[in-house]
């Protein structure tokens, strides 16, 4: 039986070299597949000093976790890395072509998108300069380190109520909802039982010497002391590759993400997605799990192609 041959330089090109991408790369290079991992060096969690709740890595800086994983992947001879910005992806015969900002291109048989999302922050003075330190998004990641005390929650819609009820586990929560929102009796009862104070007056600005937070100044001039504030930021997919390839998207409470099946396959053949851009809930553990799942599915698709009967 003839051996399958493909002129593509890579079996898989992975765009996004953080936790999902590295996890996928590890699986594929251990199967002796040729993998190129592309990364622009701007992980979503770069604003946070440390990562928490990560098994065996609790409290370790996220950059250190990624660097250790990168070194382990790089030890395999079929792994290749390119620290660069990918700007376009096209489907070509036999796979995909990826263009870089410097005008060069590379090709691969399969494509894994793991470049993540961008947080769309509330347009309130003081949020951006505290993001990842005292203006936060994930209570599971950062709630314990606050150490209790007064905590704010900023959010809108049904998600805000559940968000505040969760954050209440880590401190005395004030939910800033805005004047234009009402609460159902069920939601009001839930917040009451969780000890959440409801503040309808909008926040004008956050105060304190950033990144420290001392509290929120309201539109009516009142000052609410706070040690931290959790912001229900929405997200947007960080790069246009999924759209340009025709992948379907799906709406979540946090924003639009790439639609995938249980094996991280998008609606486009040969294109997989993993990590924050393909799920509503996000953390390092979930991203690495998604990366492993995507790699196994991608590997199977390669084997199926290689063993298909000749036309």
Q: Is 4 helix (H, G, I), strand (E, B) or coil?
A: coil
Residues 99 and 246 in one domain: yes
pLDDT, greater one: 29 or 182: 29
Q: Are residues 266 and 142 in the same domain?
A: no
- pLDDT value, residue 181: 62
Q: Report yes or no on 251 lying in a domain.
A: yes
Do 104 and 126 lie in a common domain? no
pLDDT of amino acid 12: 98
Residue in this structure with the two tokens 């105060």, named with its chain if needed: 207
Which of 191, 211, 231 terminates a domain? The answer is 231
Residue 174 CB burial class (10 angstroms; 0-12, 13-18, ≥19): buried
Which pLDDT band, with edges at 50, 70 and 90, does 4 fall under? low
Flag whether the pTM goes above 0.75.
yes
Residues 95 and 185 both lie in one domain: no
| H or E segment to which residue 301 belongs | helix 284-307
Residue of 156 and 245 predicted with greater confidence: 245
Q: Please, are residues 302 and 95 in contact by the beta-carbon 8 Å criterion? A: no
Q: For residue 3, is it within any domain?
A: no
Under 8 Å between Cβ of 287 and 19: yes
Hey, how many other C-beta atoms are within 10 angstroms of the C-beta on 152?
28
- Residue 35 has φ and ψ, to the nearest 5°, of -125, 135
For residue 300, tell me if it sits in a domain. yes
* 163 and 290 share one domain: no
Q: Both 189 and 241 in a single domain?
A: no
Residues 246 and 218 in one domain: no
Say how far apart CA 136 and CA 36 lie, in whole Å: 33
Q: What is the pLDDT of residues 100-112, one digit of tens each?
A: 999 999 999 999 9
Contact between residue 31 and residue 299 where contact means Cβ atoms under 8 Å apart = yes
Tally of domains within the chain: 2
Kind of pairing, strands 105-113 and 271-273? parallel
Say whether both 146 and 221 belong to one domain. yes
Residue 61: φ, ψ to 5°: -55, 140
Return the sign of the alpha-carbon dihedral for residues 169, 170, 172, 176: negative
Claim to verify: residue 221 and residue 253 sit in the same structural domain: no
Alpha-carbon distances, residue 309 vs 241, 270, 301, 303, 304 (angstroms): 32, 19, 14, 12, 10
Residue ending a domain, choose from 173, 197, 231? 231
Instruction: Say yes or no: 72 and 128 in one domain.
Output: no
CATH number at residue 150: 3.50.50.60
pLDDT at 7: 77
CA distances for 284 relative to 144, 195, 206, 275, angstroms: 17, 30, 28, 8
Higher local confidence (pLDDT), 307 or 253: 307
Query: Taking the C-alpha atoms of 239, 243, 247 and 249 in order, what is their torsion angle to the nearest 10 degrees?
Result: 80
Reduced DSSP (H G I as helix, E B as strand, rest coil) percent helix, strand, coil of the chain, to 5? 30, 30, 40
Q: Tell me, yes or no, whether 1 lies in a domain.
A: no
Classify residue 287: in a domain, yes or no: yes
| In-domain check, residue 102 | yes
Q: Are 178 and 156 in contact (CB under 8 A)?
A: yes
Structural domain of residue 176, as residue ranges? 122-231
Average pLDDT, the chain: 93
Exposure string over 4-37, b if 16+ CB within 10 A, otherwise e: eeeebebbbbbbbbbbbbbbbbbbbbebebbbbb
Does residue 192 sit in helix, strand or coil?
Answer: helix
pLDDT at 254: 83
Q: How confident is the model at residue 2 (pLDDT cuts 50, 70, 90)?
A: very low
Neighbours of 227 (CB within 10 A): 19
Q: Is the peptide bond before 211 cis (omega within 30 degrees of 0)?
A: yes
Domain assignment of residue 5, yes or no: no
Give the pLDDT confidence score for residue 310 in this predicted structure.
81
Tell me 103's DSSP state.
S
**pLDDT one-digit tens code per residue, 162-204:** 999 999 999 999 999 865 567 889 999 999 999 999 999 999 9
Q: Does any domain span residue 2?
A: no
Q: Quick one: pLDDT band at residue 213, thresholds 50, 70, 90?
A: very high
> What would the mean pLDDT of 249-275 be, rounded to a whole number?
95
> DSSP letters along 207-256, please?
ESSTT---EEEETTS-EEE-SEEEE--EEEESSSHHHHTT--EEEETTEE
pLDDT tens, 74-102?
Answer: 999 999 999 999 999 999 999 999 999 99
pLDDT at position 233, please? 81
Do both 131 and 264 map to the same domain?
no
Regarding whether 105 and 17 lie in a shared domain, the answer is yes
Place of tokens 């209790």: 148
Of 231, 255, 278, the domain-final residue = 231
Beta carbons of 256 and 249 less than 8 angstroms apart: yes
């Amino acid at each position: 039986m003839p051996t399958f041959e493909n002129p593509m330089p890579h079996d898989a090109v992975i765009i996004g070299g953080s936790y999902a991408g590295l996890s996928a790369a590890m699986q594929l290079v251990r199967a002796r597949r040729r993998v190129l991992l592309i990364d622009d060096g701007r992980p979503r969690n770069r604003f946070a000093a440390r990562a928490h709740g990560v098994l065996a890595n609790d409290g370790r800086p996220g950059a250190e976790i990624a660097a250790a994983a990168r070194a382990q992947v790089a030890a395999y001879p079929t792994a290749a890395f390119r620290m660069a910005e990918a700007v376009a992806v096209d489907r070509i015969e036999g796979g995909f072509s990826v263009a870089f900002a410097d005008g060069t291109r590379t090709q691969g048989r399969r494509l894994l998108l793991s470049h993540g999302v961008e947080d769309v922050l509330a347009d309130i003075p003081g949020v951006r300069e505290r993001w990842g330190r005292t203006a936060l998004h994930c209570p599971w990641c950062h709630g314990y380190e606050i150490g209790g005390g007064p905590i704010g929650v900023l959010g809108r819609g049904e998600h805000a109520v559940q968000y505040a009820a969760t954050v209440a586990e880590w401190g005395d929560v004030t939910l800033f909802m805005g004047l234009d929102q009402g609460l159902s009796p069920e939601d009001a009862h839930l917040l009451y039982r969780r000890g959440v104070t409801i503040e309808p007056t909008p926040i004008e600005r956050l105060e304190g010497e950033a990144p420290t937070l001392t509290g929120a100044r309201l539109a009516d001039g009142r000052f609410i002391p706070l040690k931290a504030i959790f912001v229900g930021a929405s997200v947007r997919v960080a790069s246009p590759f999924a759209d340009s390839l025709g992948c379907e998207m799906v709406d979540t409470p946090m924003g639009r993400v790439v639609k995938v099946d249980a094996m991280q396959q998008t609606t486009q053949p040969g294109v997989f997605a993993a990590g924050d851009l393909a799920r509503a809930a996000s953390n390092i553990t979930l991203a690495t799990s998604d990366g492993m799942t995507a790699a196994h599915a991608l590997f199977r698709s390669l084997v199926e192609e290689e063993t298909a009967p000749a036309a």
